[in-house]
Amino acid sequence: MRWSLIPAVLAALLAPLDAAAASGYTMADFAKVPKIDAHLHLHGDSQQAWLALARKDNFRALTINVDYPDFPSLAQQRRVASTLAHQHPELVAWAATFSTDGFERPEWSAATLKDLDGAVADGAVGVKVWKNIGMSLRDSQGKLVMVDDARFDQLFDGLAQRRVMVLGHQGEPHNCWLPIEQMTVNNDREYFAAHPAYHMYAHPEMPGYEQQMAARDRLLDKHPTLRFTGVHLASLEWDVTRLAQFLDAHPGVNVDVAARIGQLQYQSQRNRERVRAFFIKYQDRLMYGSDLAQSAEQDDAGFVADMDQVWRRDWRYFVTTDRFKVPELDQPVQGLSLPRVVVDKLYRINAEKAYPRAWHKAQ
């Protein structure tokens, strides 16, 4: 064969692969494609039902500890997550967190970093920073403490030096600062109507939405080498254009879609191509997550049934052109039909890059 023909021959051989990457998956591919749920919360000592579902649906998971009063104690969350990851490293990875108790004490930062070093040595692949910083944590003077407060600088500097992924949940959905009747999705309307204490529209004495976002952005500016994932679409779920601006301003940051797909669907009802174009343009920065957690009242069978339903419904939105109903919206939504290469990054590749120490047996 003449050397001048080799590029043309290679192009012909690779063309079917390129076409397959550009084409989409279907619902029939759901269980065939390896996937990662990069944001959920596994709390029970026995997860046999969930593990069976994960194998059936071809999912791995990142279970995230959170300093949330409705969750089990931090010690129990860490014990359960660590045990699962050690027993099933091919399926489960975990992220640690920390308590803000005593954060004003001079020794707090060093002690917290030492505790997190122990978690990382035990296999944790990230550290969760929750919205209590900025929305409920107060100092000894009664002043609300924001996430960019200088008293956290030593902690975030230490995490940056250690190259540990920080999973940041700052603020709430934009709907939290709107009247109930102006909220865009059913689940927010229902939640804030039932929990008025958390409805910031009714609490003008608290920091506004833009103040929460600005504090998070100042944190990233103060610690430019911090590895950071903005969970819940970085609380910019309401506008993919605004989210794109955030990603452009912070080129090293990722986001996950956990518990905010309804807001994406609200936007795609109005301009499907704009949302689809966002996913294609920022395909290297987005990770799939469900944010599901088993409540104390829910048995194992109910939990895995819910998870299987959510996983399949979300897959339908991202890979098909179907029109179908979702709980968050009153009118049907049409799927985005993303190219395979984008779906693979959203559902697996980006999470593997973000957490290279996770799921090591699978790799």
For the chain, what is the mean pLDDT? 94
- Average pLDDT score over residue span 28-48: 94
pLDDT exceeds cutoff 80 at 2 = no
**Confidence at residue 44, expressed as pLDDT on a 0 to 100 scale:** 84
Distance CA 316, CA 213 (A): 31
**In which band, very low, low, confident or very high, does the pLDDT at 103 lie, cut at 50, 70 and 90?**
very high
- Average pLDDT score over residue span 246-250: 98
Is 25-354 a CATH 3.30.930.10 domain? no
Q: Domain-by-domain residue ranges, the chain?
A: 25-354
Tens digit of each residue's pLDDT (9 = 90 or more) over 52-75: 999 999 999 999 999 999 899 999
**In which band, very low, low, confident or very high, does the pLDDT at 269 lie, cut at 50, 70 and 90?**
very high
Distance CA 283, CA 275 (A): 12
Give the type of residue at 349. I
**Confidence at residue 8, expressed as pLDDT on a 0 to 100 scale:** 55
Counted residue by residue, the chain has a size of: 363
**Confidence at residue 294, expressed as pLDDT on a 0 to 100 scale:** 87
Q: Going by DSSP bridges, is the β-strand pair 35-40/126-129 parallel, antiparallel, or unpaired? A: unpaired
- Average pLDDT score over residue span 192-202: 94
Q: What DSSP state is assigned to residue 127?
A: E
- Average pLDDT score over residue span 7-23: 52
Distance CA 242, CA 178 (A): 18
At 165, is the secondary structure helix, strand, or coil? strand
Token digits of residue 211: 């103040």
**Confidence at residue 17, expressed as pLDDT on a 0 to 100 scale:** 43
Residue 354 and residue 347 in contact, taking contact as beta carbons nearer than 8 Å: no
Residue 268 and residue 275 in contact, taking contact as beta carbons nearer than 8 Å: yes
- Average pLDDT score over residue span 27-43: 98
**Confidence at residue 10, expressed as pLDDT on a 0 to 100 scale:** 44
Element containing residue 264 per DSSP (H, E): helix 261-270
Distance CA 338, CA 40 (A): 23
- Torsion sign (Cα): 162, 353, 290, 121: negative
Closest to 127 (Cα-Cα) out of 135, 136, 118: 118
Residues 6 or more apart whose Cβ sits within 8 Å of residue 164: 116, 120, 126, 127, 227
pLDDT exceeds cutoff 70 at 298 = yes
Is the pTM value of this prediction over 0.85?
yes
Distance CA 253, CA 346 (A): 15
Give the type of residue at 173. P
Q: Going by DSSP bridges, is the β-strand pair 333-334/92-95 parallel, antiparallel, or unpaired? A: unpaired
**Confidence at residue 275, expressed as pLDDT on a 0 to 100 scale:** 98
**Confidence at residue 15, expressed as pLDDT on a 0 to 100 scale:** 47
Backbone φ and ψ for 134, nearest 5 degrees, come out as 115, -25
Distance CA 229, CA 129 (A): 10
**In which band, very low, low, confident or very high, does the pLDDT at 135 lie, cut at 50, 70 and 90?**
very high
- Average pLDDT score over residue span 158-175: 98
Token digits of residue 319: 């890979």
Give the type of residue at 111. A
- Average pLDDT score over residue span 134-155: 97
**Confidence at residue 112, expressed as pLDDT on a 0 to 100 scale:** 98
CB burial class (10 A; 0-12, 13-18, 19+) of residue 296? exposed
Closest to 159 (Cα-Cα) out of 104, 229, 84: 229
- Average pLDDT score over residue span 316-335: 98
Residue 231 and residue 295 in contact, taking contact as beta carbons nearer than 8 Å: no
pLDDT exceeds cutoff 70 at 243 = yes
Give the type of residue at 352. E
pLDDT exceeds cutoff 80 at 177 = yes
Candidate from 16-25, 81-90, 260-269, 347-356 with smallest mean pLDDT: 16-25
